[in-house]
Amino acid sequence: AGTVPVTLKVNGTTHQVNIDPRATVLDTLRETLHLTGTKKGCDHGQCGACTIHVNGKRANSCLLFAAMHQDAEITTIEGLGTPDHMHPMQAAFVEHDGYQCGYCTSGQIMSSVAMLKEPIGPHDADVKEALSGNICRCGAYPNIVAAVQACRR
**What minimum distance in Å lies between the beta carbon of 153 and ligand FES?**
29
Cβ-based nearer residue to ligand FES, 62 or 80:
62
Cβ-based nearer residue to ligand FES, 32 or 149:
32
Asked whether the beta carbons of 47 and 103 are under 8 A apart, the reply is no
**What minimum distance in Å lies between the beta carbon of 5 and ligand FES?**
25
Asked whether the beta carbons of 109 and 91 are under 8 A apart, the reply is no
CA–CA dist 47, 63 (Å, integer): 12
Which residue number is nearest to ligand FES in terms of Cβ?
Answer: 62
Cβ-based nearer residue to ligand FES, 128 or 152:
128
Cβ-based nearer residue to ligand FES, 39 or 96:
39
Side chain identity, residue 14: T
Per DSSP (E only), the strands in 20-92 are 51-54, 57-60, 73-75
Residues that bind ligand FES (CB under 6 A): 40-43, 45-50, 60, 62
Tell me whether strands 73-75 and 57-60 are parallel, antiparallel or unpaired.
unpaired
Cβ-based nearer residue to ligand FES, 61 or 96:
61
**What minimum distance in Å lies between the beta carbon of 72 and ligand FES?**
17
**What minimum distance in Å lies between the beta carbon of 135 and ligand FES?**
8
Provide the 8-state DSSP code for 107: H
Per DSSP (E only), the strands in the chain are 4-10, 13-19, 51-54, 57-60, 73-75
**What minimum distance in Å lies between the beta carbon of 29 and ligand FES?**
12
